[in-house]
Amino acid sequence: MDALQTLDAEGASAGRPGQFPRQDAPAGRSEISVQRLPFTVRVVRHEPQLRKAIAIRQRAYERHLPALAALLREPEAQDRDPGCVVLLAESRLDGEPLGTLRIQTNRHRPLVLESSVELPEWLSGANLAEATRLGIAEGRIGRMVKTMLFKAFYQYCLAAEIEWMVIGARSPLDRMYQALLFQDVFPDQGYIPLKHASNLSHRILAFELETAEARWRAARHPLLDLFVRTSHPDIERSGRLPGSGLPSRQQVAPVALAA
């Protein structure tokens, strides 16, 4: 399960766009297996769920970036923006929040990182989605949650017909994304300060959805089976496509978490 930790990030491919040919899945592809998780991953729909996401986000940032964490005690405006959704991982045993991730598409407005950088021509005009505000619990369960939040991000983008996933990653987290076959958007610039991340330096990376399976297959990627050939019923697959956003606080009644 914790395959991300075993990858040789330094040796992972980071080729330019178009390096891998598009191809159909081979005949005789192995059957889909089903795997249950000790937690769920769902799209936040109600204020109580959002508060859980904020709590785990703030705790996670406090471990590494306490100054930024102090600004994350309350929901950000973007958490409720059209074109954004917040994912929440919760323990199936007691409902404890274990992880969160926010997804923004560029269907309503430019990505938040575009306030700091101008994306290159090969991303211009494409359907993009950016992942921000990743926060996970400590320990082995946190590593598992991180992997499944990324799978949820990947599945969400497929459902929303996103062409490129884009992220800004600090060191050493950027090596994790490189190991997943993300590629440098600005290979000659290195790390770039991002305004929405307190001007901390991040590496800008992108991942093409259409060629994902072909590239993972060609690389004999250790996560291919987990991401493509395994069904996880505990990861919500039918969340709202980008556009509606979370209702404003005034519109949200204090309701129980969805079953």
Residue 203, both tokens: 């590496």
| DSSP-derived 3-state class of residue 78 | helix
Threshold 0.85, pTM exceeds: no
Distances from the Cα of 126 to the Cαs of 13, 102, 168, 252, in angstroms? 23, 20, 18, 33
Q: How would you class 111 by CB atoms within 10 Å of its CB: exposed for 0-12, middle for 13-18, buried for 19 or more?
A: buried
- Rounded to whole angstroms, the Cα distance separating 48 from 89 reads 13
Distances from the Cα of 198 to the Cαs of 51, 71, 110, 153, 184, in angstroms? 22, 10, 19, 24, 21
For tokens 């309503």, name the residue: 108
Question: Tell me, what's the pLDDT at 88?
Answer: 97
Question: Tell me, what's the pLDDT at 238?
Answer: 53
Residues 6 or more apart from 77 whose CB is under 8 A from it? none
- What average pLDDT does the segment 57-69 reach? 88
Nearest CA-CA partner of 206 in 178, 240, 237: 178
pLDDT (tens digit per residue) in 195-249: 888 888 999 999 999 999 999 999 999 999 999 999 999 999 754 544 445 544 4
Question: Tell me, what's the pLDDT at 17?
Answer: 39
Q: How would you class 240 by CB atoms within 10 Å of its CB: exposed for 0-12, middle for 13-18, buried for 19 or more?
A: middle
Question: Tell me, what's the pLDDT at 242?
Answer: 45
pLDDT (tens digit per residue) in 177-190: 999 999 999 998 88
Going by the DSSP 8-state scheme, the letter that residue 89 receives in this structure is: E
